Structure 1
Amino acid sequence: MTTRALIMIEGHRRIGPLFVEAARGLGLYPITLSADPDRYEYLSAEHIEVVRVDTDNLDALSHECSLLSATYQIAGITAAEEEVYATVGKLCRHFNLPGPNPASVERCCDKFVQRQLLAKAGVPIPAYRLAANATEVESSAAEIGFPVVLKPAVGTGSSGVRLCRDVDELAEHTNYLLGGDHTWLSSPRILVEEFAQGAYYSADIMGNEVIGICTVEFGPPPHFLGRKCIYPAPLSDDEDKRIADVSLGCLQALGLGWGPTNVQLRWTKCGPVVIEVNPRLTGGTNPQRVQLAYGIDLVTEHIKLVIGDKCNLRRTHSQTAITQHLLPDRDGILDWIDGDIRAAAVPGVAEVKFYVEPKTPIVRKWDYTDIIGHVVAASPSLAQTEAILQRAVGLIGWSVTPFPTEQEQSGSPHLSAPAWVPAR
């Protein structure tokens, strides 16, 4: 019997191993096509077959998949990274496999086009403008009124996203985005939008069904770096329904509705306002939180759709799952980090993971790459889970020695002291 293979276009540093585990659990042989497989440590650790190929080249990908089809039965093709998800849709159509609509994914990944379509459909969104240079950024912000949010028109993980509360912050971040420091995934275009103030929520959808809604607590402005994620969000039935209804309205407006979608919103004085729609599974620890909260394995159910099977989104239990991200408070050299074993031993803790090793340079970019670890806990109630998490996180600490200043590098004996930081 020919081996059934699941083709992954690129991997994913956080949830890539979950795809491998889920594929094998479904009797599939995982194969990864990647331009740089060394980015994903789990590929070698899990002995995953890898094909090195330019994943921006659709013809090259089609050729490699055709070669693989001579040895394996290709059961499905998918990806966890948003940057290649439209390409996945094109490959699925070429090989007559289930997959996302590539045109819808491409429209959705361009935040300006996405907002145009949402506005046309009457979905509540913040006021917005598109700017290509500093003059247009300044005039757009003046039209909308401070505070505004500046973000790349194409991007993920809060990279390059910042709240600008006045003209000075606006100029500073515009210079950062256009001055060569930011890595653009497309031609430089800046989205200037009204800051929708209110609690932040994120709805997970599979097909046309809302699975659940979480809430995220961010660190201090002007950045949008999530510190804590609570699943499910503590909402009234009416609030839950209104967020779900608005989220489902996004699918119709954007031509989505196959596979996973994530809708990010804020609850303003006018109710739910859509901030962003992502045509993919949410990364990080979100799949684990959903499984802990409801018993639904999002990755497995997604792969079932990919290979043409019917997914099962029935909840088997109800708990509250929370992730606490570990974030450094300064740049420098990480001297040490520990407490993971003690924290993991706390009853109710599902996972403790560090992403960095001692002696690693810490240079904060104010996006998801700043996170140096996480703790995930779950229990039958929000209060109990919060208590578990507080106890576990309190057992973790680290020390960062700031980088030497120019004066210290020139020979001054007064070196900065390292900072021991409890992960609270």
Structure 2
Amino acid sequence: MTPTGASKRLLMVMPYSQFVRKAAEAGFEVWAIWDPSLRERAYLDEVAEHARELLLTDFSDEEGLRTLIAATVRVHGIGHVLHLGAEDSMPPAYAEAEALGVSPNPATAIGVLNDKAAMRALLAAHGLSAVRSVSVATADEVSGALAGLPLPVVVKPARASGSRGVALIRDAADLDEWTERVTAAGLPGPYLIEEYLQGPEFSVETLSADGVHHVIGITAKHTTGAPYFVETSHVHPAPLADAERAAIHAVVIGLLDLAGYRFGPAHTEVILTDRGPRVVESQTRLGGDRIPLLIETASDYDIEAAIFRTLAGEPVEPPRPRHTASVGFFLLPAGELRSVTGLDAIRALPYVQTLHFPHSPGDDLPPTTNSFTRHGYVVVDAESPAEAADRIARVRGLLRVDVREAALAAPKGTHR
């Protein structure tokens, strides 16, 4: 189905370059809005290549962003406004789009799903995915709030992403370290304090159309464990029993229903505890960590393209995976990278889909404390999770680095 008239005119805020291309391939005329401080000119040129017009603004100026959206919608007869990028600029974008009658979602749905404290309150009000928690406005209030919860607990900024400012608090020293870290990083409140959920972790990708939520896939996550809990690999599809899969589907779809989410992708993280699945957080965008590529590798299903086909009116048809796909992250010692070998040998392996190693000799490798400070990744395909794990291990064995390790120890860990 090809969109026509105003319905074919799409304004996207913060669209990645492949989104603009895939929207155009689905029949849309695309106008794009970006903040030039967030990307290099060469990348913005890629965005502009498939857009009718690339408009630049400062995303931190919420009133300016809303004014630009309103003017673009009115001048060009835009039928839809869509934001699939980082969550920080979603609230003003969707508020203005809703006011103009061109939003696929109520702004309240976007707000509650992207705000961890609001999401937790919504679930608690309806008795779904029960988790003991409390929300406070400032970091100074966290200490007093801990008295109401048994340690350990997880504390995190309600509106941050990528594990920034997330910590497992076991004692006063952990709290001091966390307070210093979020203050230095400028991560504002509110902050969510909640019970420490234990069990295997999963990422659930959904695509919603007309308020009906379709589970596209579930990905298993593996971490370093305490104290850092940094993701080391993901496997798709997750090896789950039918009853476990059904329970995860139910809790995620229940959350999206309660939030009033109507259209688009959502990325929801779940821990399968001994009391059943518990939602950790959700975002109204696609999952990171190359999860869309894992889905495509395992199923030949392009979830990015499916968003725009769905917006054009095509029905959602969830894929059936035929293979296993896995991403393995490189967590190297912190310090100066003196040399690296093995990259060509890794690329030559027939099962390697993508290799990303953005470092060169002379670079300083940061300590890995969250998803942003890992040192690259490889994506492989396989016939089973076990074979995928073996292939990731072989790649890691081929990657040889010489690092002059930093003298200072890494900061204490984080937990998602």
Scaled by the length of structure 1, the TM-score of the pair is 0.83
Q: What is the CA–CA distance in structure 2 between the aligned matches of 1:256 and 1:204, rounded to whole Å?
A: 14
Q: Does the aligned pair in 1 maintain the 2:124–2:131 contact within 8 Å?
A: no
Q: Does the aligned pair in 2 maintain the 1:215–1:232 contact within 8 Å?
A: yes
Q: What is the CA–CA distance in structure 1 between the aligned matches of 2:309 and 2:122, rounded to whole Å?
A: 30
Change (3 A) 1:400 1:144: same
Shift of 1:352: 0.8
Shift of 1:134: 5.7
Give the aligned residue type for 1:372.
H
Give the aligned residue type for 1:121.
H
Q: Does the aligned pair in 1 maintain the 2:365–2:375 contact within 8 Å?
A: no
**Which one of the candidate residues 120, 125, 150 is aligned to 1:115?**
120
Q: What is the CA–CA distance in structure 2 between the aligned matches of 1:7 and 1:122, rounded to whole Å?
A: 37
**Which one of the candidate residues 392, 395, 399 is aligned to 2:402?**
399
Hey, what does 2:12 align to over in structure 1?
A: 8
Change (3 A) 1:175 1:235: same
Q: Does the aligned pair in 2 maintain the 1:328–1:370 contact within 8 Å?
A: no
Hey, what does 2:26 align to over in structure 1?
A: 26
Q: What is the CA–CA distance in structure 1 between the aligned matches of 2:227 and 2:248, rounded to whole Å?
A: 25
Give the aligned residue type for 1:238.
A
1:84 to 2:89 alignment: yes
Shift of 1:250: 0.7
Shift of 1:103: 1.4
**Which one of the candidate residues 336, 343, 367 is aligned to 2:370?**
367
Hey, what does 1:315 align to over in structure 2?
A: 319
Q: What is the CA–CA distance in structure 2 between the aligned matches of 1:381 and 1:69, rounded to whole Å?
A: 48
Aligned positions of 1:297-312 closer than 5 A: 297-306=302-311, 308-312=312-316
Shift of 1:397: 2.9
Shift of 1:314: 3.7
**2:155 alignment partner, SS class:** strand
Q: What is the CA–CA distance in structure 1 between the aligned matches of 2:326 and 2:371, rounded to whole Å?
A: 17
Hey, what does 1:221 align to over in structure 2?
A: 226
Aligned positions of 1:133-172 closer than 5 A: 133=138, 136-172=141-177
**1:181 alignment partner, SS class:** helix
5+ long unaligned stretches in structure 2:
409-416
Q: Does the aligned pair in 2 maintain the 1:231–1:290 contact within 8 Å?
A: yes
**Which one of the candidate residues 290, 293, 300 is aligned to 2:298?**
293
1:329 to 2:341 alignment: no
Hey, what does 2:196 align to over in structure 1?
A: 195
Change (3 A) 1:36 1:311: farther
Q: Does the aligned pair in 1 maintain the 2:329–2:377 contact within 8 Å?
A: yes
Shift of 1:401: 2.6
Give the aligned residue type for 1:298.
I
Q: What is the CA–CA distance in structure 2 between the aligned matches of 1:196 and 1:111, rounded to whole Å?
A: 15
Q: What is the CA–CA distance in structure 2 between the aligned matches of 1:138 and 1:204, rounded to whole Å?
A: 35
Task: Indicate the percent of aligned positions where both proteins have the same amino acid.
Answer: 25
Change (3 A) 1:94 1:369: same
Hey, what does 2:411 align to over in structure 1?
A: none
Shift of 1:389: 2.3
Change (3 A) 1:364 1:258: same
Change (3 A) 1:18 1:287: farther
Give the aligned residue type for 2:382.
S
Change (3 A) 1:191 1:46: closer
Give the aligned residue type for 2:399.
I
**1:32 alignment partner, SS class:** strand
Change (3 A) 1:227 1:182: same
Taking only aligned residues, the RMSD between alpha carbons, in angstroms, comes to 2.8
Moved more, 126-135 or 225-234: 126-135
5+ long unaligned stretches in structure 1:
406-424
Change (3 A) 1:223 1:8: farther
Hey, what does 1:340 align to over in structure 2?
A: 343
Change (3 A) 1:234 1:302: same
Aligned positions of 1:24-103 closer than 5 A: 24-28=24-28, 30-37=30-37, 39-40=39-40, 42-44=43-45, 48=49, 50-57=54-61, 59-65=63-69, 74=78, 76-79=80-83, 80-103=85-108
**Which one of the candidate residues 350, 353, 356 is aligned to 1:353?**
356
Q: What is the CA–CA distance in structure 1 between the aligned matches of 2:126 and 2:230, rounded to whole Å?
A: 30
Change (3 A) 1:269 1:63: closer
**2:292 alignment partner, SS class:** helix
Give the aligned residue type for 1:362.
L
Give the aligned residue type for 1:313.
E
Q: Does the aligned pair in 1 maintain the 2:158–2:192 contact within 8 Å?
A: yes
Q: What is the CA–CA distance in structure 2 between the aligned matches of 1:334 and 1:5, rounded to whole Å?
A: 48
Q: Does the aligned pair in 1 maintain the 2:139–2:191 contact within 8 Å?
A: no
Q: What is the CA–CA distance in structure 1 between the aligned matches of 2:125 and 2:5, rounded to whole Å?
A: 48
Q: What is the CA–CA distance in structure 2 between the aligned matches of 1:38 and 1:336, rounded to whole Å?
A: 30
Aligned positions of 1:235-314 closer than 5 A: 235-306=240-311, 308-314=312-318
Q: What is the CA–CA distance in structure 2 between the aligned matches of 1:243 and 1:2, rounded to whole Å?
A: 39
Q: Does the aligned pair in 2 maintain the 1:134–1:171 contact within 8 Å?
A: no
Aligned residues: 395
Q: What is the CA–CA distance in structure 2 between the aligned matches of 1:212 and 1:120, rounded to whole Å?
A: 28
Give the aligned residue type for 2:384.
S
Question: What per-residue deviation string (whole Å, max 9, x for no partner) do you get for residues 358-399 of structure 1?
Answer: 433333361221022110111232222222222223222333
Hey, what does 1:408 align to over in structure 2?
A: none
